[in-house]
Amino acid sequence: MAVNSSLVRVPGTGELSLAPAGTAEPPDATTPLPAPWGGLGLSTEDGVTMARKVEKEGTSHWQQLTPARYIYKSHELTVKSVFQETKGIVLGAYFGGLKFAETATGSKKYRAEISSVPKGDVRALCVDWTDYISETEIYSHRLYVPRAEVSETEEAQLSRTQEARWGLTFSALAPEQGSTILAVWLTNDPAVILSAPATAAGVPDGPALARVAPSMES
């Protein structure tokens, strides 16, 4: 049995960040994201829900009941979270590119228009999470999506019994210029290297960087 309790990971903390579409891939999972990346801040304790859905259909035949092969119909990668900070970057994502501007210089009064015509608002997306196991075992993971857009928003209830919450689902978009990379997974967690030699503790020896790029042909 390939059972190893030291490889269980708990995403203790993390954050989602946005940048203009096509912003360069970060160098690794631990380097702080520079401008133009902006964090979406606090989210509910449910954290982030990532989902990958591949729809495929089997071929049908006269001579047999079992499909001979599958035809791929669609491929979706989504990231969902509920945010608790009411600020520009969150509201901008929720309302499809909404931008506030000061009504007059120095007035500290701001105004934004919600258009009756929805428009595309494509962003680059990073999902960061870290597992603090001990002082010597700190593993970070970062999912980088070059092109993503909000595909669904949840109802936002404003009441005195709960903070304002902004539920957003981001969907990865097809890459540009003939690339097949839908997303990239960066990490310093050696557990992702399946063929690495194990140490006495049962964990592969030395840090590693894993890049997982699900393509449209997955």
pLDDT per position as a tens digit, 191-203: 999 764 545 455 5
By the 8 A CB rule, do 218 and 38 touch?
no
pLDDT at 208 over 50: no
Residues in the chain: 218
Percent of the chain whose predicted confidence (pLDDT) is above 90 = 83
By the 8 A CB rule, do 160 and 47 touch?
no
Report pLDDT for 77.
98
DSSP-derived secondary structure letter, 191: G
| 197-202: Cβ within 8 A, 24+ apart | 201/6, 202/4, 202/6, 202/7
pLDDT at 64 over 50: yes
Q: Which of 136, 190, 148 is nearest to 50 (CA)?
A: 148
If one compares 22 and 184, the residue with the highest pLDDT of the two is: 184
The pLDDT mean for the chain works out to: 90
pTM of the predicted structure, to 2 decimals: 0.86
- What's the CATH class of domain 9-179? mainly beta
